[in-house]
Amino acid sequence: MKGNNKVLLEIVGLRKTYGARPVLDDINLSIHKGEVVVVLGSSGCGKSTLLRCLNGLESIQGGDIKLSGKSLTDKNVNWQEVRQQIGMVFQNYDLFPHMTVMENILLGPSKVQKRAEKEVMEQASQLLDRVGLLNRKDDYPRQLSGGQKQRIAIVRALCMNPEIMLFDEVTAALDPEMVREVLDVILGLAKQGMTMVIVTHEMGFAKAVADCIVFIDAGKICEIAEPDEFFSNPKTERARQFLNIFQY
Partner 1 sequence: MSMNWEFIMSALPLYEKAAWLTLKLAFLGILASLGIGLLCSIVLYQRTKGLERLVRVYIELSRNTPLLIQLFFLYYGLTKLGITLSEQTCAIIGLAFLGGSYMAEAFRGGIESVSKSQIESGISIGLSKLQLVRYVILPQAFAVTLPSLGANCIFLLKETSIFGAIAIADLMHVTQDLIGMYYQTFETLFMLVVAYLIILLPLSLFLTWLERKVRYAEFGN
Q: Which of 28, 68, 113, 145 binds partner 1 (CB under 8 A)?
A: 113
* Nearest residue (CB) to partner 1, 27 versus 152: 152
Of these, 84, 100, 123, 125, which contacts partner 1 (CB under 8 A)?
A: 84
Q: Is 87 in the site for partner 1 (CB under 8 A)?
A: yes
Is 55 a residue that touches partner 1 (CB under 8 A)?
yes
Position 18 contacts partner 1 (CB under 8 A)? no
Exactly one of 6, 21, 142, 191 binds partner 1 (CB under 8 A); that residue is 142
Instruction: Choose between 146 and 208: whose C-beta lies nearer to partner 1.
Output: 146
For residues 43 and 80, which CB has a smaller minimum distance to partner 1 in the complex? 80
Residue 54 is a binding residue for partner 1 (CB under 8 A): no
Are 86 and 163 spatial neighbours (Cβ–Cβ below 8 Å)?
Answer: yes
Establish if 116 lies at the interface with partner 1 (CB under 8 A): no
The answer to the question of residue 59 lying near partner 1 (CB under 8 A) is no
Yes or no: say if 145 and 177 are a contact pair by the CB < 8 Å rule: no
The reply on whether position 90 binds partner 1 by CB under 8 A is yes
Q: Which is nearer to partner 1, 95 or 101 (CB)?
A: 95
For the segment 143-162, give every residue that binds partner 1 (CB under 8 A): 149, 153, 156-157, 160
Least distance from C-beta 119 to partner 1, angstroms? Answer: 17
Alpha carbon of 86 to those of 8, 89, 168, 222, 236: distances in Å?
Answer: 11, 10, 13, 25, 31
Q: What is the gyration radius of the CA atoms in the chain, in angstroms?
A: 18
Task: Examine residue 141 and tell whether it contacts partner 1 (CB under 8 A).
Answer: yes
- Site residues for partner 1, 190-229, by CB under 8 A, read none
Nearer to partner 1, 133 or 213 (CB): 133
Strands 62-67 and 70-71: antiparallel
Q: Does 167 bind partner 1 (CB under 8 A)?
A: no
User: Whole-angstrom distance between the N-terminal and C-terminal Cα of the chain?
Assistant: 34
- Near partner 1 by CB under 8 A, which window of 19-27, 93-101, 187-195, 228-236? 93-101
Interface residues with partner 1 (CB under 8 A) are: 55, 57, 80-81, 83-84, 86-88, 90, 92, 94-98, 107-108, 111-113, 140-142, 149, 153, 156-157, 160
